[in-house]
Amino acid sequence: MKRTAKLVFILFVAALVCGTTAFAQSKGTIAPDQIPGIAVYVPFPVSITLDGKLNDWKGIPVQRVETGYPKGPDPSQNQYVDFSVAADTKNLYVYMQSKDSNIIAGQHGQDYWNEDSMEFYVNFTNKLTPRTYSRGIFQITINATNIGKKDGEKLVITGTNSSGLSVHGCVFKTSDGWAFEVAVPLPKGLSLDHGKTIGFQVHANGASKKDRDSKLIWSKADNSDSSYQDPSVFGQAIFFNVGRKDIPEPLNLANDLASLFKKQGAVGKTGKKIVWADEFDYTGAPDPKKWAYDAPDAGKWNQELQEYTSSRKNSFVENGKLTISAIKSSAGKWTSARLFTNGKADWKYGYFEVKAKLPAGKGTWPAIWMMPTKSIYGDWPNSGEIDIMEFVGLDPDKIHASVHTKSFNHRIQTQKTRNSFIENVTGDYHTYAMEWTSKGIFWYVDNKPFYMFENSAKGYAEWPFDMPFFIILNVAMGGSWGGMNGMDTNLDQADMVVDYVRVYQ
Predicted pLDDT at 2: 30
Q: Answer yes or no: do 230 and 370 share one domain.
A: no
Q: Answer yes or no: do 102 and 42 share one domain.
A: yes
Tell me which of 390, 435, 454, 462 is the catalytic residue: 390
Mean pLDDT lowest for which of 86-90, 151-155, 168-172, 217-221? 217-221
pLDDT at 48 over 60: yes
Instruction: Tell whether 397 is covered by a domain.
Output: yes
1 CB-near residues (< 8 Å, 6+ apart): none
Predicted pLDDT at 115: 82
Q: What pairing do the DSSP bridges indicate for beta strands 350-357 and 493-504?
A: antiparallel
Mean pLDDT lowest for which of 20-24, 90-94, 170-174, 473-477? 20-24
Q: How confident is the model at residue 195 (pLDDT cuts 50, 70, 90)?
A: very high
pLDDT at 24 over 50: no
pLDDT at 16 over 60: no
Q: What is the mean pLDDT of residues 407-415?
A: 85
Is 318 assigned a catalytic role?
no
Q: How far apart are CA 102 and CA 34, in angstroms?
A: 29
Q: Answer yes or no: do 493 and 406 share one domain.
A: yes
The pLDDT tens digits for 317-357 are 999 999 999 999 999 999 999 999 999 999 999 999 999 99
Instruction: Tell whether 115 is covered by a domain.
Output: yes
Q: How confident is the model at residue 255 (pLDDT cuts 50, 70, 90)?
A: low
Q: What is the mean pLDDT of residues 155-159?
A: 94
DSSP 122-171: EE-SS-SS-SS--TTEEEEEEEGGGTT--TTSPP-EESTTGGGS--EEEE
Tell me which of 119, 181, 385, 462 is the catalytic residue: 385
The pLDDT tens digits for 170-187 are 999 999 999 999 999 999
Instruction: Tell whether 334 is covered by a domain.
Output: yes
Instruction: Tell whether 310 is covered by a domain.
Output: yes
Is 385 assigned a catalytic role?
yes
Q: Answer yes or no: do 231 and 279 share one domain.
A: no
Q: Answer yes or no: do 286 and 339 share one domain.
A: yes
Domain total of the chain: 2
Q: How far apart are CA 447 and CA 178, in angstroms?
A: 41
Instruction: Tell whether 42 is covered by a domain.
Output: yes
pLDDT at 223 over 90: no
Predicted pLDDT at 20: 27
Predicted pLDDT at 19: 29
pLDDT at 18 over 50: no
pLDDT at 151 over 90: yes
Instruction: Tell whether 11 is covered by a domain.
Output: no
Q: What is the CATH number of the domain that holds 115?
A: 2.60.40.1190
Predicted pLDDT at 1: 31
Q: How confident is the model at residue 35 (pLDDT cuts 50, 70, 90)?
A: confident
Q: Answer yes or no: do 115 and 234 share one domain.
A: yes
Predicted pLDDT at 254: 65
pLDDT at 473 over 80: yes
Q: Which domain holds residue 131?
A: 27-243
Q: Answer yes or no: do 51 and 115 share one domain.
A: yes
pLDDT at 11 over 60: no
Instruction: Tell whether 2 is covered by a domain.
Output: no
Q: Answer yes or no: do 108 and 220 share one domain.
A: yes
Predicted pLDDT at 164: 83
Quick count: other Cβ atoms within 10 Å of Cβ 183? 20
Closest CA to 363 of 183, 209, 488, 250: 488
Closest CA to 436 of 352, 344, 342, 340: 352
Q: How far, in Å, are 106, 169, 216, 345, 388 from residue 79 at the CA level? A: 20, 24, 9, 50, 33
Percent of the chain with pLDDT over 70: 91
Q: What is the mean pLDDT of residues 87-91?
A: 97
Predicted pLDDT at 210: 63
For the chain, report the end-to-end CA distance as a whole number of angstroms: 45
Predicted pLDDT at 79: 81
Query: Which of 191, 226, 243 marks a domain boundary?
Result: 243
Q: Answer yes or no: do 196 and 317 share one domain.
A: no
pLDDT at 459 over 70: yes
Q: Answer yes or no: do 280 and 193 share one domain.
A: no
Q: Answer yes or no: do 306 and 196 share one domain.
A: no
Average pLDDT in the chain:
89
DSSP 171-203: EEEETTEEEEEEEEEPPTT----TT-EEEEEEE
Percent of the chain with pLDDT over 90: 70
Q: How far apart are CA 204 and CA 116, in angstroms?
A: 8
Q: Answer yes or no: do 211 and 290 share one domain.
A: no
The overall longest dimension of the chain from CA atoms, in Å, is: 79
Residue 322 three-state SS: strand
pLDDT at 298 over 80: yes
Instruction: Tell whether 262 is covered by a domain.
Output: no
pLDDT at 474 over 60: yes
